[in-house]
Structure 1
Amino acid sequence: MSPLQPTYNRLSLSVKYISVFLPFDIPGFLQVLREQGYFVTPSLEEATAAVPFGARLGASGLVARKADVGIRVDGDRQILGVVAPNASTALTEMDSLESLLKDGTGVDSPGLAQYYEFLASLTVRAKVSPLESWNRHLADVPLVQQASRLMGMKVSPFGLRLAPVRQVPNQPDWCEIRIEPQVQSPRDSHYLEIVFRGANRDKVFAFVSGFEETLDGLISLVEGE
């Protein structure tokens, strides 16, 4: 099984806090990031300098960047996240970011977490036509055959969406994998979207650590290797 070379449209690892507000002060947090070589977003630099004495500075969106890693904050939803080029970098940077919070601001990020969430959307070049793969796997499923008769044409699933049995998405623990032919090149590439969310930090981090191996296995299943 040769290593995949996915093209990521988006990849992030974030933490959602249980508190009403973010558990850290934005100006102090930005100073910690500066000391670690991050460049703070210019508009936020201006806002920090202009904030009145005693006022609380809010922030949403990309707040800082270092090389190909970005730090995002959603003050309305109490979320802090890392945007990275791949899963291993996201994992390393998120772990480092929480350590910085502990050392620089005294905030125990894991202790205040409601859940952690890994998000990824990506494309992978296919060895076997995704259209043909899905037709081969699922065209003969009775439900699909009945749908073909109802529609008066032979139909086949355009991919697959997987989730934990009997779980619903509006809870802290959730996993969803969507894999289908890429719309722009359905014979040449797979498109995937992944959500992995959980209250257990170790469980989420373990999934992120093994993500590329999981991805490799999923593509091999679809292509029938």
Structure 2
Amino acid sequence: MASTNSITGFTSDFLDDNRDRARELVDSYYNDEFLSSIGDPTDVILSEFPAIAWRELYLGCLPPNKQVYLIYERGEPFGRDRDLIVGLNKQIKDEFKHAKIFTNYLSQFGVDVDLTTHEESEEIIQACRTMVDRDEPHHIAAGFQCSTEIRAAFMVQNLAEYIEQEYPNVANTLMKHVVADEGDHLHVGRQIIERFSSDDETEMMQTITDEKFEKIDAAMAARFEAATN
């Protein structure tokens, strides 16, 4: 196990850097220019909400489910790590709630999105597999709660700001009941890293995150270029 001081210092710098990277990434590619290329706020809701709902359910729920299993196997789920079990199950509940928020709003526009049958691209499915197919809970945290989740929160924030003038109630719901939850998810990811990682794994966790951001950057840049050119 890691020494508490060294891992705490690493995690603080790690998260600060990831917030900055995620903010820059989202503001570069998921901005008003991109969203306006889709259309007006109604067009954006109809275009973006189905895929976001799918990601909230699958990308949001499968990694913490795997972490619960790994903590059961490697940790003390009935003792020291009960707070992590509670935090991860809260995240799973939150992510399901988020998915329902997006699908419920779509139903108000006459669009029925059934997440048991909704199809997503193989690229997105593979991204989900990459997050889940790891053998340590803190490795999942590095590529999920402490990186991907930050980016997702900034994307929903930018989307809410874009639709706010026409749909203030929708925007307010997204900020209060989706974006606001991500702080708790980031916190449990940080706890997992600080509790389960060793000092010699910091480079590995940085690599996991770097690879994740590189893939996200390439995908978002390609979508931005296709939409705006």
| TM-score with structure 2 setting the length | 0.29
Which structure has more helix as a fraction of its residues?
Answer: 2
- TM (norm. structure 1) is 0.29
**Which one scores higher on RCO, CA 8 angstroms, separation ≥ 6?**
2
Between Structure 1 and Structure 2, which shows a larger proportion of strand residues? 1
Larger Rg: 1
